[in-house]
Amino acid sequence: MKGDKDMVTLGTDSHKQSHTVVAVDENGRQLGELRVAATPAGHREALGWARQWQKRRWAMENCRQLSRGLERDLLVAGEQVLQVSPKLMGRSRRSGRQLGKSDPIDAMAVARVALREPNLPVARLEGKSRELKLLVDHREDLVGERTRIQNRLLWHLHELEPGLQIAGGGLTRKVVLKEVKRRLEAHQGVVSEIA
């Protein structure tokens, strides 16, 4: 969005306890810097500080767990928020490393990436789509955990009874699980206990 006269880009560097915000003009020159608590009160403070610039937009590295609260509060307040991918930030960090405290440097790097990348995604308030994604992610985690448990059980069973064959998917059937339990109870020792 270079060439948008008087537009100020507010780059952020988000952490668990704080957000650092650096304001830059359309040429990437720093206009100001602020560090606030990563709390709703800190978010309001950052927004109040940013209101000194009439034309403004925010740029955030897409670190969902760290930046979600600030992003949400800014969107609710009607602010424009651009999402900068970690991949773009990685390239920017490698090419622009300077001496000094890294939070303001990283916040400025986010703002400068937003200046040179015209097609960054614009953040939107999350609703049902986020909830659905959380549920899908949780289901994938549960399926992965079940698979790890079943594989571990199969390895222990193989150690205890090398000739035992269990068909793929067999550990989801009650009759097979009853038989596995009966066989495990017939063994002594740590392997049978942890299986």
Instruction: Quote the pTM value.
Output: 0.63
The domain at 8-126 falls in which architecture?
A: 2-Layer Sandwich (3.30)
Q: What is the pLDDT of residue 46?
A: 97
Q: What is the mean pLDDT of the chain?
A: 88
Alpha helices per DSSP H over the chain: 40-50, 64-76, 86-95, 102-116, 128-160, 174-185, 190-194
C-alpha of 21 from chain center: 19
What percent of the chain has a predicted confidence (pLDDT) above 70? Answer: 91
Of 120 and 195, the one with more pLDDT: 120
* Interval 146-150 mean pLDDT: 93
Nearest Cα to 76, choosing from 131, 133, 134, 124? 124
Residue 191: burial class (beta carbons within 10 Å; 0-12, 13-18, 19+)? middle
pLDDT tens for each residue of 170-192:
898 999 999 999 999 999 999 88
> In the predicted model, what is the mean pLDDT of residues 70-78?
92
* 19-72 pLDDT, tens digit each: 999 999 999 999 999 999 999 999 999 999 999 999 999 999 877 788 889 999
- Model confidence at 151: pLDDT above 70: yes
* Cβ-contact 109, 96 below 8 angstroms: yes
* The pLDDT of residue 114: 95
DSSP states of 119-158: TPPBP----HHHHHHHHHHHHHHHHHHHHHHHHHHHHHHH
Identify whether the C-beta of residue 70 lies closer than 8 Å to the C-beta of residue 103: no
CATH 3.30.420.10, the chain: domain bounds: 8-126
